[in-house]
Structure 1
Amino acid sequence: MMNWTRRHSLIAGVGLILITNVVVLLGVAYNKSGTPESVLKLSQRELQVPYGGREGADNSGMSLRLIARSTGPFSMGASGEEDSDGWFGKEKLAELGFDVSAPADTEQGRAYYQKQHSRQVFIVLEFNGRAYQHAVEVARKMEAAELNKKQPTTLAREQTMSSRLFIVDAGVSREALRAKYPDTTQYSIVRGQVRAMVYTHNNQAMLIGYVNQRGAENINVPFTFRSVFEPMQRTVQENGYSASNSGSPSFEAAIAFGKRLEPWMVAATAK
């Protein structure tokens, strides 16, 4: 029997690393092969440099954070008006496989839903569509109310700074979701996790779902396009996170989603 030595351990460790890297590279190649599943043309409003940029970090890489908003009770405005476009309720939770039989307005029901595990699903991202237009209309109403307070900023912020990318649906069938949202320049499908919870508003308990983990949260920037984003990165480092979507500097980036629903950047230009 061969004696296991430190040298053997080193060789085994190196071999495992090589195998892992090969598997990762093959997965990346497969994801990018063929025609992309979808391509979204986003801007600095949807793609943000993380706070602090690369300061004090490894300068070999750069990534942008994908900002996707939600509709429903969690997107109520300052006026207290609940978003009527909310879609993630009891019926959707049941469709995703959650047991929704317990009453939501009891302590036992709250505890029951709190103990339910997250579920892996497919999530639909909508760019510059109905959900965003609804957000603009809500902001318009809020600004009308804020004029009396001399704070007419809500609508301008929504129209020039806020992300236009929204989570609008979820399902267990990727094919069914794509059939429902066929426009691959406006809708992308990614993997994610969802949970159920009891939400109380105006003393009324309701069962809702929310996305607690989403794929495609970060987009790596290829070296070829890095010069497009470095001015924005310097702005963030100098002025803080809020400057990253202030409109200056600005850009447009084409983000493709592949066979594994993983994103990569295929084009980027400064504007």
Structure 2
Amino acid sequence: MGPRELSALFALAGGGGLSVGGICGQRGADRRGYPPRGRQAVQSRGDVLSALFLHQDLRLVVGLDAEVAVLPGRRPGGGRLPFHTGAVAAYRTRGRRLVRVRLSIFAIVLVVAVNAFVLAGVAWNRSGEPAAILELTERELAMPYSRWSGRESTGVSLSIRQADQDHEWLGRDKLAELGFDVDRYEGRPRHDWRALERRVFVVLEFDGPAFRALRAEREARLAKAREGLESGETNRKQVEAAEAALERFETAESRLVVIDAGEEASSLRQRYPDRERYAVMRALVHMHATSRPGQESEPVVRGRVGRLLPGRVHVPRRFHAPLRRSTDETRNAYDAPPRYRAVVKFGRRAEPWLAGIEPIPAGADSETAAD
């Protein structure tokens, strides 16, 4: 029913509204102006709609308070929705295109905002005087296993390696100082423990007394193995393994040793002021339970330093050439002397960055490479 028919209908009805009974009484009719197929139109006594027929697209069951929409709806901004199928499809296509454009703009703005935030953090970290400056080698800054690919890459980074140690200083009292709830887990079985870790600041000592103590431990193991060979407690293979471990420790082991930890970087820097020997970084500290060998006592609360944060240092493009020259495929970096040295600086946020790199001659011994 169009606007003209409704206007005439309203004139005949004296301006009155359409009754629900009048509409429901014509539910069997066909299109307007044509009689229903199979039966006569139902005549409603005294109803002006008795001579009209309404087109029924689908059957609806409505309540007394329901509203039956006769005219097409309107958009929120005004105007009639298009009736034609092609117009509706075009309208929906324009809507989907507008949504895609808005999502693309939002994604671009988000990427720009994140990059700006990261660059601002990098600038703040490198502003002012560096908190520490260490001259490291491949022993502390390891190349990834993939090494160089056939094409130029802008994502080259070096892994920061710490020496293999037992962290004897990270006991119960130190863990409680770092914020661990030691009393809650002490004495419980190991399977009751979960991933208990905290982000704290740690002190890295480079080629200092802690590293020399680790070397003394390896030397003591070798001496004990040799004594056991004479008494028959060990065999020749065990002695050779201890000798190879000590040789690798002196030539390829990292000289960065974690010696302390705390919740504030400023207090650690005041405690270790030598900027060429000590550096402060973030790291994950884990609390776990250990049992002493040969004893069946309750597990002892211990801690260990996990990965450093960040665990890698980015190599700028200007340092790709010297790094590529020093990392050829003919040398084994696992147990060979270091092939390059690098200057690493640590900033306000306890984050390192690479300030220089140069190859180490192949004929240089370990002492020359360390200097």
When normalised by structure 2's length, the TM-score is: 0.62
Matched, 1:270 2:359: yes
Residue from 322, 333, 353 that aligns with 1:243: 333
CA 1:57–1:165 in 2, change beyond 3 Å: closer, same or farther?
farther
Greater radius of gyration (CA): 2
Structure with the higher strand share, 1 or 2: 1
| Residue 224 of structure 2: aligned partner | 145
Distance 2:120 2:334 in 1: 34
Structure 2: 5+ residue stretches without partners: 1-75, 78-94, 230-235, 361-371
3-state SS in 2 of match to 1:228: helix
Q: C-alpha separation between the residues in 2 aligned to 1:213 and 1:139?
A: 23
1:77-99 Cα shifts (integer Å, max 9, x gaps): xxxxxxxxx10010100101112
Distance 2:138 2:225 in 1: 27
How is 1:31-50 mapped onto 2 (pairs within 5 angstroms)? Answer: 31-50=125-144
Moved segments of 4+, more than 6 Å: none
Partner Cα separation in structure 1 for residue 313 and residue 208 of structure 2: 22
Between Structure 1 and Structure 2, how many residues are aligned? 251
> Percent identity among equivalent residues?
30
* Alignment check: 8 A CA contact 1:143 1:153 kept: no
Alpha-carbon deviation of 1:253?
0.6
The 8 Å contact of residues 71 and 87 in structure 1, kept in 2 or not, is answered as no
Match of 1:99 in 2: 181
Output one character per residue of 1:218-241: Cα deviation in whole Å (capped at 9) or x when no partner. 111122222222144433xx66xx
How far 1:21 moved relative to its partner?
0.9
Shift, 1:210, TM fit = 1.8
1:30-84 deviation line (CA, Å, top 9, x unaligned): 11111111111101111110112133787223111110125326xxxxxxxxxxx
| Aligned pairs (5 A) from 1:155-174 | 155-174=246-265
1:195 aligned to 273, 282, 286, which one?
286
Q: CA 1:168–1:44 in structure 2 vs 1: closer, same or farther (change >3 Å)?
A: same
* Structure 2 residue matching 1:234: 3-state secondary structure: coil
User: Which residue is 1:60 aligned to?
Assistant: 154
In 2: Cα distance, 1:64 partner to 1:155 partner: 25
Output the amino acid matched with 2:174. Answer: K
Partners of 2:210 and 2:342 in 1: CA distance = 21
RMSD: 2.4
Return 5+ residue gaps in structure 1 as ranges.
Answer: 74-85
Is structure 2 residue 214 aligned with structure 1 residue 135? Answer: yes
1:90 aligned residue: 172
Higher RCO (C-alpha 8 Å, min separation 6): 1
